[in-house]
Amino acid sequence: MAGTLYVVATPLGNLDDLSPRAAATLSRVSVVAAEDTRHTRPLLAHIGSHAELVAAARERDISVVTIPGPTAVAAALSVSGLSADRYVFLGFLPRKGAERRRLLETVAQSAWTVVLFEAPLRVAELLADLAAACGGEREAAVARELTKVFEETRTGTLTALAGYYADAPARGEVTVIVAGAGKPPAASADRPPDPEARARALLAQGMTRRDVADQLAAETGITRNTAYRLVNEL
């Protein structure tokens, strides 16, 4: 007889946030598979569960049931004070390179609030890059250690937050919320040219890098700092 796989959401930090249904499910199953036993073992002990941890799960034709629970995305949005009716979740950005630049521009141009994760020691760098891409006056929030003893949510402009965390590096798990641009994306027929492709074309015409950066910012809508950095990396 096929068993059932329960996908159980666990608390962000405060064990009291575990729902009664999740506690009952974890207490009665025979096996628990976890990403990190350091987090799961204290939780199972808290509810009196003695199931064993397995290293991998095999693909089987079994029923899968979700047991919903807390999520850092929803928790951070709820205390950010920023619009949460529509949002974009991008997770962790690449640490460098063209894909990081592309996603920073995605944040800058998004009409909706954007949610990001970041490692604590890289928060100040991320905020500085976001300020360069979005403009330093864009509103944002940094939520860390949600539901835990040292929970903190700090709001302000990207420039102000970047300065704060440069002087006082963040600790713990961090979620960054960036306000949307407040306007819908351009229609496909009016969409500006790809910044990198346009920069290459302008450079091929013999224009100086400074002039290319100025024209690129005017044509594509990206900030001049971002345009100048992109041109210099080509």
Residue 119 is assigned to a structural domain of this protein = yes
pLDDT at 51: 46
CATH number of the structural domain spanning residue 15 = 3.40.1010.10
What pLDDT digit, counting tens, does each position of 184-197 carry?
545 444 556 788 88
pLDDT at 80: 94
What pLDDT digit, counting tens, does each position of 61-103 carry?
666 766 768 889 999 999 999 999 999 999 999 998 889 999 9
Mean pLDDT for 172-178 is 95
Residues 88 and 158 in one domain: yes
Mean pLDDT for 17-45 is 74
Mean pLDDT for 152-171 is 95
User: What does the alpha-carbon distance between residue 23 and residue 6 come to, in Å, rounded to a whole number?
Assistant: 12
Residue 206 is assigned to a structural domain of this protein = yes
Residues 150 and 228 in one domain: no
Residues 118 and 33 in one domain: no
- Report CA 65 to chain centroid distance, whole Å: 26
Residue 183 is assigned to a structural domain of this protein = no
H-run or E-run covering 53? strand 52-53
Q: SS3 for 115?
A: strand
Mean pLDDT for 95-121 is 93
Tokens of 53: 């941890």
Residue 222 is assigned to a structural domain of this protein = yes
Residues 209 and 150 in one domain: no
The model's confidence at residue 203, banded by pLDDT at 50, 70 and 90, is confident
CA geometry: angle at 217 spanning 213 and 223, to 5°?
105
Q: Which residues pair with 178 in a beta bridge?
A: 114, 140
Q: What is the mean pLDDT of the chain?
A: 83
Residues 170 and 81 in one domain: yes
Domain termination site, one of 178, 197, 222: 178
pTM of structure: 0.63
146-166: burial string, b at 16+ Cβ within 10 Å, e else: beeeebebebebbbbbbbbbe
Residues 80 and 170 in one domain: yes
Domain termination site, one of 70, 101, 128: 70
Q: Is a pLDDT exceeding 70 seen at residue 183?
A: no
Domain termination site, one of 47, 70, 93: 70
Residue 221 is assigned to a structural domain of this protein = yes
The model's confidence at residue 159, banded by pLDDT at 50, 70 and 90, is very high
Please give the residue range of the domain that contains residue 84. Answer: 73-178
CATH number of the structural domain spanning residue 167 = 3.30.950.10
The model's confidence at residue 54, banded by pLDDT at 50, 70 and 90, is very low
Residues 169 and 94 in one domain: yes
Residues 79 and 174 in one domain: yes
